Amino acid sequence: MDHPKTYNSGVCVICREKAAPTSFAARRSPIAATELEEICTLAFAEQSRRAEDREYAQQMGYSLDRKISTRRPGSIRVDTRCSVQIGDTLYHVGSVEYTDTELYLQLTEVRRLA
C-alpha cells in the first residue's frame, strides 16, 4: 500500500516580481516582500541534491543551493521566471520538473528580504 507523500519541511511562497520600472529599463532584484506578487503558498519537502542535479545546474549556469518538492499546484504554471520565498530568503527557480502529482524545484539563493 502506497503512503501519501508528506511535505513537512516547511512552507514556500511561489511568486513573481512586480513590475518596477527603473530609469534605464534594467531589471532589478526585489529587496522586500512587498515587491513580489504571490502566486500560491505550498508546503514542501526538502530533497537531496544529487550529483546529476549539481552537474545540470552547472551546465545551465546557476548554483544549486536547494532542491524541494511540493504537490503540483493545479492549473498554476510555475516556471523559471518565478521566485520562491522560504522564510525571509528569496530564491530564483533554476529548473522545474513536473510529474502528474508533484513539482520539483531547483533553487538558487538570491538574498534575504528586508
Q: What is the CA radius of gyration of the chain?
A: 15
Query: How many angstroms separate the Cα of 10 from the Cα of each of 17, 43, 70, 87, 88?
Result: 22, 6, 10, 9, 13
Tens-place pLDDT, residues 51-79: 999 999 999 999 999 999 999 988 888 99
CATH 2.40.10.210 corresponds to the domain 10-112: yes
Check residue 2 and give its pLDDT: 67
Output phi, psi for 60, to 5 deg: -85, -5
Q: Determine the Cα–Cα distance for residues 21 and 18; give it in Å rounded to an integer.
A: 9
Q: Determine the Cα–Cα distance for residues 104 and 59; give it in Å rounded to an integer.
A: 18
For the chain, which residues make up each domain, given as ranges? 10-112
